[in-house]
Structure 1
Amino acid sequence: MTTSFPHTVVDESISAADGYYTLLRIVHLGPHTVRVRVHRDVELEPCFAAAEVLSSEMTWTPLVMHHPDHWFDRTATPFRHINVKAELEPLANDLTQRVTAVLVKTIALPEHVMDVVGALLAVAYGSAGERVITPDDVRWAKANGGPFRAIDRQDGSVLLTKAHRYDCPLLVSESDVPCDGKCQAVQTAGGNPSMN
């Protein structure tokens, strides 16, 4: 099954001369930035079609290639006024689809949230902690306890909680007002899970 990412073209440039034509495209595939480059020359050897992903170190890592043997004869000989998009866009789109199949689907979250969740994982399971959250885990968590909240506090810490009901003063006031103490009584009494 191919993983599906929402994708957005964020930059594209084309160029053509009498001896070559080129398409360069930058795409956001979910949380990944991908560069797709296709170059058609007069001769086979300098031609290439490749897709690379931008690493966290801001370098391009090659992921997939499309050898020119498979597309050279299906594209037009270069000349200055060629329709570059018509010639090379099918190759660029194919590379994008192949990259989508290769990349592991990750959940895109703001960096601050990723830092907090990473810290929680490390505190619970060690510095190299790993945990799979199953669909059953998600269903159980939604049916039990209060709503999940991540609240930034004035001292720079973050409060992660499911211990408070939806209308608890602590949640409603973004932690300016303390809990009124009724949350624990509701949870121990086993009330309605959707209100705990």
Structure 2
Amino acid sequence: MFSLSPDWAGIFEMILILLVILIGYSIAEYFLQKHFHPDTTDRSSFLITPEYCFAFGVGILEFLVESIIFPSKSKLGNKCSIFGLIGMTIGLAIRFSAILHAGKSFTHRLAFRKEPEHKLITTGIYRYIRHPSYLGFLIFAISSQIYLTNPIAIIGFYVRLSIFFRQRIDIEERYLLKFFPEYEKYRKETRTWMILLF
């Protein structure tokens, strides 16, 4: 089990791939916001917050520690890494298709007043999933920890994201009901597909 000579090349490769994916994700988020909201896009549109950096930093730290103890963990191509990469791809596909379909109606910031460009989107991916961008990010984030085979971080990410999305959805839906009376019917008929704690 414990090895005095961990596979540093494998460890580096796994971390590098994750960092490239995370950087690509942040750049895509920024440019999608820039495309639909050029006047309000700023550095925060990269979605790189201290909490985000801390979470992924802890995930990478867990991976490093466990890779030293269990060297086989750091092999790209193991079942967890492949499953995690597939999950990250699916999560990002869901998130980005939600953003592209909603267009100007999608923002990173909660809207507390209805703007003329705001429309209730119930077609495309929204026909099947309520809050698909949140579901996509949840799948992406948890899959990133599956990719690293991080049992502790998988649980930590799930608990923290459950709290975050539960609070955010509660606030967002309160305003969606004010802006769009027909949202009540949509909410009853369309699931989030997220199993959130709390």
Say whether the fold is shared (TM-score over 0.5): no
Range into which the TM-score falls when normalised by the shorter chain: under 0.3
Output the TM-score relative to the length of structure 2.
0.21
Output the TM-score relative to the length of structure 1.
0.21
Kindly name which structure, 1 or 2, has the bigger radius of gyration based on alpha carbons. Answer: 1
Higher strand share: 1
The one of the two structures with greater contact order (alpha-carbon pairs below 8 A, sep at least 6) is: 2
